[in-house]
Every structure is written in C-alpha cells, then in structure tokens.
Chains A and B, each alone.
Chain A
Amino acid sequence: MKEYLKEMLNSFFISVTFINLAMLVLGLLLQPDRQFGYEIFIYPLIYGLIGIIPGLIVRTDKELSIPQFVIRKVFQLTLIVVLMVAFIFGGSPVNERTIAAAIGVSVSVIIIYVLVNVIGWFMDLKTAKNLMNDLKVYQSQIGETVEKELMSKVPHGH
C-alpha cells in the first residue's frame, strides 16, 4: 500500500505539471484573450486529483499478466477522459466550440497519461539500476565463496 501511495503521489505531481502545460497550450490555441483570476491555480490540482481517482478504482493486489495490465490501463485512461470531460464541460451547451474544446482536452489527457507512464517507466529504470548497483555490491561482499574459489581453480574444459 505504501509503495502504491508513493506511486500515486508521483503520478499526481507529474500530472499536475503536465496539466499546467496543457492548459497553457490549449488556452493559447482556443481562447488566447481570456482573463482568469487567482482561482485558476487550483484547477491543475483538481484535474490532477480527478486523474488519480480511476487509478484507485482499477487498483489490484493481484499480479497481472501483460494483457490484463494493458486492459486495465486502457480502462483507466477511458475513465480519466470521461471524468475530465464531464467535470470541465458538464452542463455546458453542446456546440462546435464545446466539442472542439472537449476533443482538445481528451487529446491532452491521453498525451499526459502516456507521458506520466513513460516517466514512470524511466523512474522504474532508475530503480532497477539502483537495485543492480546494490546487488553488485552485495554479490561482491558475500561472494559465492566455496563455489567461486573451487570452480575458478579447476582446469578449463570442465
């Protein structure tokens, strides 16, 4: 659970960073002249929170196979898109402008989701490298004393 919470927090803060960027890009493209108050600063955090809710729903302690994992990820992404679009555009009139904005938001959500997962993978790569470094130290410290010493001394070809 502790590992999972750590992972969720990582995803949350990475998402918030990208949501800020997405809001900047989408805002400049769709409504460049619009003015905002200070309340705008809370929105990336709210969107970030909405983004992690589906992760809590699809969470499992079972060890998933790769197809099961991919299905869960697709389901999670779909839920995030639906929740995000519902939160942002819920109650708004359906017109061309809203549809364009909803598509923009959906694409942004997908891009952010992929980026968060790619960054997560690079963080795992770093974890793996750290584990390998620790493992090398461990193996050199412990050493396969008997086997190593014996096998290195036996004649070649055996």
Chain B
Amino acid sequence: MELKVKTISEKETEYIEIGCHKYDENIKEIVKIIKLHHGSVDGYKEEEQYQIPISDIYYIEAVDERIFIYLKKECYESRRRLYEFEDSLGDRGFVRISKSLIVNMMKIVSIKPALNGRFVCKLKNGEDVIISRKYVSGLKEKLQEKR
C-alpha cells in the first residue's frame, strides 16, 4: 500500500482520503483510528468500556441521574456528568438544548417549532429531540460564534 501525504494551502479544509479496492474490516479499522484521533470519550455497555469517537455522537442525555451517549443506533452509558460533557465538548460542536440534553450540531437536520412553545430538532438518524425555549438563545449564540 502506497502512503501519500501532501501539504495543502491554509484556505483548504484538511482531509484524509483513502483509496481502497474494498471497504473491508481493515479500512473500517483505519477509519475508526482516524476518528478516535479526532477525539473520543469513554462509554460503557454491559460493563465493557468502549472508546466512542466524538464525531459519532448524536446527543448525550441525562435520564434519572444516569448519562447516556447516543450514536446513530447504539447507546452507551457514561460515568461523567452532563455539565462535564457540556464543558469539554462545548468547543467541539456540542450545545445544550434542554435541561437534560446536549446535542451534536453537526447531526441536526432540521429545527421546527412545536405546539408546546418549544422546538423540535430532527437528527440525521431520524430521531427527534426537544429544544427548550430557555436554551434557544444559547444555541443561536453558539451557531453564530464561528462566523
């Protein structure tokens, strides 16, 4: 396998491209490693610990004082507190949208008003999460701070 690294201009977005004949387990493993390098958090499922790439997280929710990390289909439990995630992932595209939920802004597909004075946020995996009115201004600020 040939390995190429080229320098691109500051204006371009950095990328990693893999040229492969087949998207097999080896390639999946490489992708996983790259994603992990991009940042990861600890998650637990059936007493086993997993490294979850941050870019795979859809949202993190507190339910009855337990913290759950939701991916596209899977769900892991975390031993960290929600405010800790809010602090550590705040500059990684995550924002609090209700008292018990932090969402990855890269996973949002649409935002619509709900009848109960709140907003419904549709995610890329088809799930709906609720944005409380109280957190709308925070979301607005977060979306505009990168401009």
| Per-residue contact bits, chain B 27-66, to A (CB 8 Å; 1 contact, 0 not) | 1000100110010000000000000000100000000000
Q: Which of B16, B119, B132, B137 contacts A150 (CB 8 A)?
A: B16
A146 near B119 with CB under 8 A, answer no
A124 CB contacts on chain B under 8 angstroms: 113, 117, 119
Q: What distance in Å separates the Cβ of B83 from its nearest Cβ neighbour in chain A? A: 17
A121 CB contacts on chain B under 8 angstroms: 113, 115
Within 8 A of A (CB), among B113-135: 113-119, 130, 132-134
Stretch at the interface among A19-27, A35-43, A46-54, A126-134: A126-134
A3 near B118 with CB under 8 A, answer no
B15 near A149 with CB under 8 A, answer yes
Number of interface residues of A (CB under 8 A): 37
Report whether over half of chain A's contact residues are helix, strand or loop; otherwise say mixed.
Answer: helix
B111 near A150 with CB under 8 A, answer no
- Give Cα distance in the complex from A147 to B58, angstroms: 14
A149 near B17 with CB under 8 A, answer yes
B118 near A63 with CB under 8 A, answer yes
B27 CB contacts on chain A under 8 angstroms: 154
Stretch at the interface among A88-96, A99-107, A137-145: A137-145
A134 with B144, Cβ < 8 A, contacts A139-B105, A154-B27 known: yes
- Give Cα distance in the complex from A10 to B112, angstroms: 20
Q: List 7 A-B contacts (CB under 8 A).
A: A64-B116, A66-B114, A132-B110, A135-B105, A146-B38, A147-B55, A150-B31
* A interface residues (Cβ-Cβ under 8 A, vs B): 2-3, 7, 61, 63-66, 69-70, 120-121, 124-125, 127-128, 130-132, 134-135, 137-139, 141-147, 149-150, 153-155, 158
